[in-house]
Amino acid sequence: MKKIFMTLVAAVMALCVNAQVYVGGGVGVYNVSDDDDATFFKFVPEVGYTFNDNWAAGVAFGWEGATDGGKKTVSINPYARYTFTNNKVVNVFIDGSIGYSHSYNAGIDADGLEIGLKPGVAVNLGGNLSFVTHVGFIGYQHAKDNNFKDKTDVWGVDVDGRNITFGLYYNF
C-alpha cells in the first residue's frame, strides 16, 4: 500500500514539475429586479492538465445560488481542449465537454445534461497568469424536472450575454 501511495505522490509531483497543471475558474454575480428582487451568484473552480501546445483536459465544478431562497445548482463539467492558435499573448481554443447539473431548493428538483463545444480565448497576462473567456455553446442540452416529470431537449447554437464566462487561470 505504501508503494502505491508513494508512486501516486511521485506521479503528481512529476506533473506539477513539468509546469503543465493549471487551476483557476470564474465567478459571476447578477441581479434580477422583479417581484422577488434576487441577486444570483456563481462560483466555478477548475483544474486541468496541458498535454502539449494543442491539447489539454480538465474539469470545472460549479455552484450557483440566489439571495432570495431561489434555486441552487451544483454542476460538474469535464472537458478536452484543443487550442487552434497558441502564441505568447493570445490562445484561441474550443472545449469539447460533457456536463451534468442538479438544481434544488424552493420546491425545485431538476437535472441537466449537456454535450457540446464551447469556444474560448485565453490572454496570457505574464508569468503564470492567464485571463480566460468562453463565448457561447454549440451542441445538445437536456433538462428534466423530477417533480413534474417534464423533459426538454435542445439542439443548436447559444451565443448571448448570459452565455459568456470570464475567469483567471494560474499555470504551474
User: Tens of pLDDT along 9-68?
Assistant: 555 555 555 558 999 988 877 777 776 677 888 889 999 999 998 999 999 999 988 877
Q: Which helix (H) or strand (E) holds 100?
A: strand 90-105
Nearest-angstrom CA–CA distance, 130 and 172: 11
Q: What stretch of H or E contains 21? A: strand 21-32
Write down the mean pLDDT value for the chain. 85
* Domain-located, residue 139: yes
Tracing cell 449537456 back to the chain, one arrives at: 114
**What is the model's pLDDT at position 36?**
66
Q: What is the CATH number of the domain that holds 72?
A: 2.40.160.20
pLDDT of residue 20: 86
Please count the structural domains in the chain. Answer: 1
- Residue 115 CA to residue 135 CA, distance in Å, equals 16
- 156 is in which domain, residue-wise? 21-171
Distances (CA, A) of 88 to 17, 92, 109, 123, 144: 21, 12, 45, 9, 43
Which pLDDT score, from 0 to 100, does residue 91 have? 93
Least confident of 4-18, 34-48, 115-129, 153-167: 4-18
All cell numbers assigned to 45 = 473552480
- At residue 7 the predicted structure's pLDDT band, cuts being 50, 70 and 90, is low
Alpha-carbon distance 26 to 131, whole Å?
A: 10
Could you give the percent of the chain with pLDDT greater than 70?
85
The model's pTM? 0.80
For residue 7, is it within any domain?
Answer: no
Determine, yes or no, domain membership for 6: no
Question: For residues 65 and 8, what is the distance between their CA atoms, to the nearest angstrom?
Answer: 36
3-state SS class at 67: coil
pLDDT of residue 65: 87
Predicted pLDDT of residue 57: 97
Tell which wins on pLDDT, 147 or 70: 147
Residues in the chain: 172
The answer to whether residue 2 sits within a structural domain is no
Task: Flag whether pLDDT at 89 surpasses 80.
Answer: yes
For residue 16, being part of any structural domain is answered with no
> How far is it, in rounded angstroms, from Cα 41 to Cα 31?
9
Q: Is residue 90 part of a domain?
A: yes
Number of helices and strands in the chain (H, E): 1, 10
Given this model, what pLDDT does residue 87 score? 85
1 within some domain: no
